[in-house]
Amino acid sequence: MRHRNNVRILGRSHEHRKAMFANMVTSLFQHERIMTTKQKGKELKRIAERLITRAKANLNLTENDNAKKLHNKREVMRLIHNEDVVKKLFDDIAPRFVTRPGGYTRMYLLDRRQGDAAEMAIVELVVKTEKKQEEKKDKEKKNKEKK
Choice between 109 and 138, residue whose per-residue pLDDT is larger: 109
Q: Which residues contact 68 (CB under 8 A, 6 or more apart)?
A: 57, 58, 61
- Look at residue 131 in the predicted model and tell me its pLDDT: 66
Does residue 57 form part of some domain? yes
Percent pLDDT > 90 in the chain is 82
Closest CA to 94 of 60, 67, 45, 135: 60
Mean pLDDT confidence for 88-100? 96
Percent pLDDT > 70 in the chain is 96
pLDDT at 135 over 80: no
- Look at residue 136 in the predicted model and tell me its pLDDT: 74
Q: Which residues in 103-127 are b (16+ Cβ under 10 Å) and which e?
A: ebbeeeeeeeeeeeeeebbebbbee
- Look at residue 57 in the predicted model and tell me its pLDDT: 95
Does residue 86 form part of some domain? yes
Domain containing 96 equals 14-146
pTM of the model: 0.85
pLDDT at 6 over 80: yes
Does residue 1 form part of some domain? no
- Look at residue 39 in the predicted model and tell me its pLDDT: 97
Does residue 3 form part of some domain? no
CA 32/CA 29 separation, integer angstroms: 5
Does residue 18 form part of some domain? yes
- Look at residue 125 in the predicted model and tell me its pLDDT: 97
- β-sheet bridge partners, residue 112: 119
Does residue 6 form part of some domain? no
Q: Which residues contact 59 (CB under 8 A, 6 or more apart)?
A: 94, 95, 98
Instruction: Look at the chain and report how many structural domains it folds into.
Output: 1
pLDDT at 35 over 70: yes
142: confidence class by pLDDT, cuts 50, 70, 90: confident
Does residue 2 form part of some domain? no
Residue 25's domain is classified under what CATH number? Answer: 3.90.1030.10
Does residue 8 form part of some domain? no
